[in-house]
Structure 1
Amino acid sequence: MGITTRRLGVKDADALAALMARIEGDHPTGFCLGAGEIRELMEGKADNVFEGAFDGDRMVAYTSTLPGRPDDTGLRIILFGDADPARLGEGLGTLMLTRSLDRSRAIHADIAPRVPGTFVTTALAGREDQADLMARAGMRAGRHSYLMVAPLEPRAEATTPVGYAVTAFDPLAAEELRQAHNAAFAGYPDRPDASPEFWAMFVVGAAHARHALSVVARDAGGSVAAYALAHEYVVPPSGGPGPEIHVAYVGTLPAHRGRGLATGLLAEVLRRASAAGYVRASLHVDTANPTGALGVYERAGFRPRYRQDSYVRDEPPPGDHLSR
C-alpha cells in the first residue's frame, strides 16, 4: 500500500499528538502539542487546516496551515509540518510541503484575493535537509528566533516603577489588552496583529493559558501600559521535564518604554511561576527584535536552547489575473 493523504479532524488528534512526540524526540520543532491543544486549534478557527500522510493506518507526516487576519497590506499564513524520523529520505517532506503550499494558495484566493500573501514556515538551524527542502519549494531564508530557557528559583516580589499598578490578567479586560498588544507591536516586521477570534481562542479561553501567572501594568489613568502573558503547554517547549511556564507575550506600549516595565513584569511572572512550583521558564524571541527584547531576557537569566530559521514565500494577489 502506498502513501495516502487526507485532511485531519478532531478524531485524529491523538494520533497526531503521538507523531509530534516522535518528531520532538528526534529534534525540537517549536510546535509539539498535546491532543487537547490540537483539538482547540482545529475547532477554534475554521480556516486552520491539518493534513496527514498515512502508510496504511499509521500517520507518518503532517502539515498545518494557519492563516492570520488579512488586511490591506496582505495575508500571512503560518505553516508547520514534519515527518516521522523513521521515514526521513522517502520524499514525505516534499509531498506534504507541496500540498501545504497549494492549500495556502487556495485559502489566499478564497479569503484575501486582492492582497499579496506571505507563507512562512520554520526549520531547526543546522538542518541542511530542511533548508534544501525549503529552497526547492521556492522559499527564501527569513528571520531567526531563539527558544530561550531559564531555571526558576524563589524570587523577591518585583519592583513596579512609580506611577504604575500591576495586576493579574483579567479575562473581562481581554479586548482592551488585545488592542494594547496590537499597538505595542504595530510596525513589527512580522505583523503579529491579533484578531478578536485569535485572541479569544489562544489567549483568553485556551486550556494552556495561565491567567493567574500573567500580569498587566496600568498607568495612573488606568490604561494598559505593558503586559506579560504566561502559558503552560502539555509538552514543554524546552524539551526538559516540567512543570515549565512559557512566556508567550511580553509587550510595552511605545509611550511607556524605557522605564523598566518589561523587565519588572517578566520578573513578576517568573516569581509567581516559581512560587506555584514551576521549575523552568521558556520563551521565543526574534534574534533581531527591534524592541531590544533579547537583552531583557538575557538579563533575566534566559539563555538560548536552540535556534529556528524562518523561510518565506511571497505570493502576488491571486485576484490580479481576474481583473485583467
Structure 2
Amino acid sequence: MDIAWRALMEEDIPAWARFGRAVEEVDREDEHYSEADLAEIYAEPLFDPPRGSLAGFDGDEMVAFGMLRVRSEADEIHRMGFDGAVHPAYRGRGLGTELLRWAPEAARALHEERYPDSRLGLSTGCMSTNQAAAALLERFGFKPVRYYHGMRIALAAEPLHVHSIEGIEIVPYAAELDEQVRLVKNASFKDHWGTAKTLLEQWRTAYLDSVSFRPDLSFIALRSEVGGNGGADAETEGFGRVVGLAMTKYFEATTTATGEREAHIALLGTLREVRRRGIAHALLASVLHAARAAGFDAASLGVDSQNPTGALGIYERIGFTVKDTWVNYQREY
C-alpha cells in the first residue's frame, strides 16, 4: 500500500482524534479523547514526538500510529511504554507489524540517552477481548504479565455514607497543597507494581494545567491539626498534613461518544502508614457524592487485579463492577 510513514506533528492532532474515534468504535477500550486532550498528550514531558512516534497516513487520514514514552526512573530494567493501533479498515495489511518492528529500534536510542546502565523493556497491552492484537504481540515475543480491570458505578442511587475517621479530615482538593499531594502520590504508589514517580512537570501537565482535571471532584485526606498525627509515623511528617488523595478527571469526548457524563477517578492513594483505616473508602465516597450532586451519571476507575492494598475489594464493596480487562504485555531487549 502507498502509506506515508513519518513522525507525529502538532498539526496532525485533528487526524489523530479522528483515528482514535475509529479505533474506539471497534476495540471498545473506553478511550475517548478530544483534540484538546491529545494536545496535552503531545506536550507530555516524557514524550518526544520527533523520535518517539510513528504515524502512517493514507492521504490526509491517519491509519496507523505508535508512540513511546520513557519513564521518569529505572532500576535494572527500563520498561518504556509503547502504545500502538491500526485503523480498523486497514487491519490485516501489515501495518501493525511495521509498528512493532519500529518500536524497539526507536526505543533503544531514547533508552540509551537516559538509562545506559539498565536493560531495555517495552510495556504495551490490549483488551482481553482483542485476540488479534494479543496474537500479534505474542508473535513478536511479548508476554502477558499483568491484568488491569476497568470498573464503573452508576450514580443513580445515593452513594455510601462518608464515615468520619479519628484524626483525619477529608477535604476538597486545594491548589496550595498541590506539591504535597504530588509527593504523597509518589510515596503511596511506590509499592505498586510497574509504577514510577511523577515528576513536577508531568504532574502539572496531567492535573493542574489539564483541561480534563476536575478539582471540584477531587479530594485529599489531611491529618487533623487537633488530635495528634492521625496514626502516622515520623516518615509521614515529610508530606505535611496530606496523607491521601483522590484525583478526578472528566473527558467531554466520553460524553460526546456515549451520551453519559462520567467522572473518572484517575488516582486514589494513601500513605502506607495510614492504610486500613477507611481513608481510601472515605475519599472515594466523597468523590461519588460530589459527582452525583454535579449531575454525573457514573464514575469509573482502573485497578491492578493484584494490587497489594486490596483496592479491588474496596471498590467492589462500594458498588463498582468490572466492565473490562486490560492485559499488560512486556518484552525485554
TM superposition score normalised by structure 1: 0.91
- CA drift at 1:200: 1.3
SS of alignment partner, residue 63 of structure 2? strand
Q: Distance in 2 between matches of 1:234 and 1:122?
A: 25
Shift of 1:131: 1.1
Counterpart for residue 228 of structure 1:
246
Mean alpha-carbon deviation: is it higher for 118-127 or for 19-28? 118-127
Cα distance in 2 for residues equivalent to 1:46 and 1:144? 24
1:209 equivalent in alignment to 2:213:
yes
1:24-76 Cα deviation digits (max 9, x unpaired): 01122354421111111212326343431112222111112122212444433
Percentage of pairs with the same residue: 29
Which residue number in structure 2 is paired with residue 320 of structure 1? none
Q: Aligned partners of 1:156, 1:287: CA distance in 2, in Å?
A: 23
Q: Distance in 1 between matches of 2:133 and 2:159?
A: 41
Instruction: Answer yes or no: is the 8 Å Cα contact 2:46–2:72 preserved in 1.
Output: no
Residue 321 (structure 2) aligned to one of 297, 300, 303: 303
- What are the within-5 Å matches in structure 2 for residues 198-277 of structure 1? 198-221=202-225, 223-236=241-254, 240-277=258-295
Of the structure 1 ranges 73-82 and 169-178, higher mean CA displacement relative to structure 2 is found in: 73-82
Check conservation: 1:124, 1:309, Cα contact below 8 A. Answer: yes
Shift of 1:192: 3.3
Partners in 2 of 1:261 and 1:184 — Cα distance?
Answer: 13
Contact 2:73 2:197 in 1 (8 A): no
**C-alpha distance in 1, partners of 2:199/2:144?**
27
Match of 2:229 in 1: none
Q: 1:254: how far off?
A: 0.9
Deviations 1:141-167 (A, max 9, x none): 110011111101344762231211122
Q: Is 1:66 the equivalent of 2:69?
A: yes
Do residues 186 (structure 1) and 190 (structure 2) align? yes
Mapped to 2, the partners of 1:138 and 1:106 lie a distance apart of 20
Q: 1:270 to 1:60 in 2, by over 3 A?
A: same
Query: Match for 1:147 among 139, 147, 150?
Result: 150
RMSD, aligned α-carbons: 2.0
2 CA distance for matches of 1:292 and 1:46?
A: 30
The corresponding residue for 2:228 is none
CA deviations 1:179-232 (Å, max 9, x no partner) are: 111111113211232121211111221111111110001112562121111001
Partner of residue 321, structure 1: none
Q: For the residues of structure 2 that align with 1:314 and 1:32, how far apart are their CA atoms?
A: 30
CA-to-aligned-CA distance 1:110-136 (integer Å, 9 cap, x gap):
222122233111111032211111112
Partner amino acid, structure 1, of 2:20: M
From 296, 299, 303, give the equivalent of 1:285.
303
Conserved? CA contact 1:69–1:75, under 8 Å: no
1:175 to 170, 173, 179: 179
User: Could you tell me which amino acid in structure 2 is paired with residue 147 of structure 1?
Assistant: G
3-state SS of paired residue (2:69): strand
Distance change (3 Å), C-alpha of 1:67 and 1:121: same
Which position in structure 2 is the counterpart of 1:99? 102
List gaps (5 residues or longer) in structure 2. Answer: 226-239
Change (3 A) 1:71 1:156: closer
Q: What does residue 121 of structure 1 align with?
A: 124
Aligned partner letter, 1:257: R
TM superposition shift of 1:83:
0.9
- Aligned residue type for 1:108: H
Separation in 2, partners of 1:180, 1:203: 15
Match of 2:300, as an amino acid?
Answer: S
1:72-91 to 2 correspondence within 5 Å?
72-91=75-94
The aligned residue for residue 6 of structure 1 is 6
1:42 to 2:42 alignment = yes
Contact 1:70–1:76 (8 Å) recurs in 2: no
Looking at structure 1, the residues matched to 270 and 44 of structure 2 have their Cα atoms a distance apart, in angstroms, of 28
